[in-house]
């Protein structure tokens, strides 16, 4: 196996992990743009997606499609409840206290998941088999195609939603200036609730499609959430292509770092490059100056 073949595989592996990071990162971006806070509980919705699916599949013996839909619904309900119970009652709280509240919320959700479902790791069957697909010199699994497809569809849908629907435009208005949005009759609090619903649904979807590959347990959300956060930062907190590129860059750096340099330092390599990017372009690689995109 010569170096060219290896690099092809590194790039493809990086692309598939990067797509996951992107999907999680978009969830961060949506809430950030509607509320100005970073929701550190986003990783827990990824975990909830996977764990609810395992629960519906194995405990209630429901078919896969039903389990997936129910899992997304359940995670969304948790997201909405989280907003109502933990974020909304904090009137006039500064964004930094809200961020700390989301960290507390993530610990609580993780703790409850551990008590309810235990500490074991669970596997889900892949959606369409385990036969590797040969792409040139490299291989991927059918599940990776699912990940690419879902990420693409979600990004396109969110683009359409934010650009062409009333509520999407209203949410963008809140992002630019929530006070002004309130004055023209937009219910800002409802928009915040929406943003939590959308991003928890997205996070859980990410958790579900990756669970067959990476397996799931009560604590998978921590690391995945962090990586998704990095993707969103590199992408300048955009809910569109910026974060997708951010995720893919992160995934490919990790994979090349592990393959070519040292697997022991692969996270370090990825995070050092993240730091360099932030030094040079604190607003993210793709954000233009001061303008905010939703």
Partner 1 sequence: MLKKSSFILTFVVSLAILAGSALAAPPIKIGGLFAVTGPASFLGEPERNTAQMVVNEINAAGGVKGRKLELIAYDTQGDATKAVQAANRLIKEDKVVAIIGPSTTGDTMAVIPVVEKAKIPMISCAAGSKITEPVKKWIFKTAQNDGLAVARIYGDLKRKNISKVAILTVSDGFGSSGREQLKAQARAYGIQIVSDDTYGPKDTDMTAQLTKIKGSGAQAVICWGTNPGPAVVSRNAKQLGLKLPLYMSHGVSSKKFIGLAGDAAEGILLPSGRVIVADLLSNSDRQKKSLLAFVKDYQKHYKAEGDHFGGHAWDAIMLLKGAIERGGDNPAAIRDQLERTRGFAGIGGVFSYSPSDHAGLTKDAFVLVEIRKQDFALVK
> Does 213 help bind partner 1 (rule: CB under 8 A)?
yes
Could you say which of 31, 78, 87, 140 contacts partner 1 (CB under 8 A)?
140
Residue with tokens 């792409």, as numbered in its chain: 135
Radius of gyration of the chain (CA): 19
Q: Which two tokens stand for residue 109?
A: 């959700």
Could you say which of 62, 139, 161, 285 contacts partner 1 (CB under 8 A)?
139
How far are the Cα atoms of 48, 75, 121, 214, 231 from residue 71, in angstroms, in the given order?
Answer: 8, 6, 17, 18, 25
Could you say which of 5, 97, 128, 165 contacts partner 1 (CB under 8 A)?
5
Contact 54, 216 (CB under 8 A): yes
Neighbours of 6 (CB within 10 A): 15
| Residue 130 CB, nearest approach to partner 1 (Å) | 6
Q: Which of 109, 92, 189, 199 is nearest to 154 (CA)?
A: 199
Q: Which of 242, 247, 236 is nearest to 289 (CA)?
A: 236
> Does 59 help bind partner 1 (rule: CB under 8 A)?
no
> Does 290 help bind partner 1 (rule: CB under 8 A)?
no
> Does 256 help bind partner 1 (rule: CB under 8 A)?
yes
> Does 214 help bind partner 1 (rule: CB under 8 A)?
yes
> Does 128 help bind partner 1 (rule: CB under 8 A)?
no
Compose the 71-110 pattern: x for residues touching partner 1 by CB under 8 A, - for all others. ----------------------------------------
Could you say which of 32, 110, 266, 293 contacts partner 1 (CB under 8 A)?
266
Rounded to 5°, angle at Cα 29 from 26 and 33 = 145
**What are the residues binding partner 1 (CB under 8 A)?**
1-3, 5-6, 9-10, 13-14, 16-17, 119-123, 125, 130, 132, 139-141, 210, 213-215, 217, 219-220, 222-224, 254-260, 263-264, 266-267
């Amino acid at each position: 196996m010569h170096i060219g073949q290896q690099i092809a595989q590194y790039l493809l592996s990086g692309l598939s992990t990067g797509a996951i990071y992107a999907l999680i990162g978009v969830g961060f971006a949506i809430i950030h743009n509607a509320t100005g806070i970073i929701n550190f509980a986003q990783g827990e919705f990824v975990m909830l997606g996977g764990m609810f699916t395992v629960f519906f599949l194995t405990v209630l013996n429901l078919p896969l499609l039903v389990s997936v839909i129910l899992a997304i619904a359940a995670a969304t309900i948790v997201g909405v409840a989280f907003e109502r119970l933990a974020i909304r009652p904090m009137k006039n709280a500064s964004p930094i206290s809200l961020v700390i509240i989301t960290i507390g919320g993530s610990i609580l959700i993780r703790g409850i998941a551990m008590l309810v479902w235990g500490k074991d790791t669970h596997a889900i069957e892949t959606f369409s088999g385990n036969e590797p697909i040969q792409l040139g010199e490299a291989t991927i699994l059918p599940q990776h195609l699912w990940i690419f497809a879902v990420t693409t569809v979600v990004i396109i849908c969110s683009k359409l939603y934010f650009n062409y629907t009333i509520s999407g435009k209203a949410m963008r208005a809140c992002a630019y200036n929530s006070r002004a949005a309130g004055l023209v009759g937009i219910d800002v609090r409802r928009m915040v609730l929406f943003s939590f619903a959308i991003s928890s649904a997205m996070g859980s979807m990410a958790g579900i499609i990756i669970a067959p590959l990476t397996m799931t347990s009560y604590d998978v959300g921590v690391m995945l959430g962090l990586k998704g956060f990095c993707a969103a930062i590199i992408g300048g907190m955009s809910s569109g292509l910026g974060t997708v590129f951010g995720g893919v860059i992160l995934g490919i750096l990790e994979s090349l770092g592990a393959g070519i340099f040292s697997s022991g330092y692969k996270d370090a390599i990825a995070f050092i490059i993240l730091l360099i990017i932030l030094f040079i372009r604190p607003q993210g690689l793709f954000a233009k100056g001061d303008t905010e995109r939703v």
